[in-house]
Structure 1
Amino acid sequence: MSSVSDASAARGGRKDPADGKQTGDRTGPLTFYRQVVAELRKVVYPTREQLVTYFFVVLFFVLVMIAIVSLLDLGLGKLAFEVFTGADDI
């Protein structure tokens, strides 16, 4: 059984086999920029049709959530009003 202090994160991280550097070492701005560009080249952008579909799915979901929250707010508001104003027929 290993303890928490035996974890590689606690010992300072692991070494990257490609260059032997610690993975926690800071990278320079040029290396960072190259890595960002490399990652952006991997991105698969949706088609216009997919984008329109996603837009309407999200719009529908947001409208449903607005309706649910509004109804809960209205119902709980009326309940609180009844509780705190009280019925005078007691």
Structure 2
Amino acid sequence: MADAPAVRGGRKDSSGGKQSEKRTGPVTFYRQVVAELRKVVWPTREQLGTYFVVVMVFVLIMIALVSALDLALGKLAFEVFTGADDI
């Protein structure tokens, strides 16, 4: 178990030596970010509108559900702790 790569040390490159821990400079980082953003598939205006409507409907349904549960459980707690006289 002592021979496991995680125990022996850091990563090694293909030549067998230890990999240098050189940091990426800001210019290289910026270029890499721009290159990755060019790969992103951006939604069309119609898709964005559709996604917006779907998310808003879902949020409104969840607001209604949570509000109804809050109202029902609040009334139940009020009845339990104030002692319903009509039972």
Q: What TM-score bracket applies, with the shorter chain setting the length? A: 0.7 to 0.9
Compute the TM-score of the two structures, normalised by the length of structure 1: 0.72
2:65 is aligned with 1:68: yes
Unaligned runs of 5+ in 2: none
How far apart, CA to CA, are the structure 1 residues paired with 2:78 and 2:5? 56
Unaligned runs of 5+ in 1: none
Q: Which amino acid aligns with 2:63?
A: I
How far apart, CA to CA, are the structure 1 residues paired with 2:70 and 2:5? 48
Q: Percent identity?
A: 72
Aligned residue pairs, count: 83
Greater relative CO (CA pairs within 8 A, separation 6+): 1
How far apart, CA to CA, are the structure 2 residues paired with 1:74 and 1:27? 55
Partner of 1:50: 47
With over 3 angstroms needed to count, the CA separation of the structure-2 counterparts of 1:89 and 1:72, relative to structure 1, is closer
Partner of 1:83: 80
2:37 is aligned with 1:40: yes
Q: Larger radius of gyration, structure 1 or 2?
A: 2
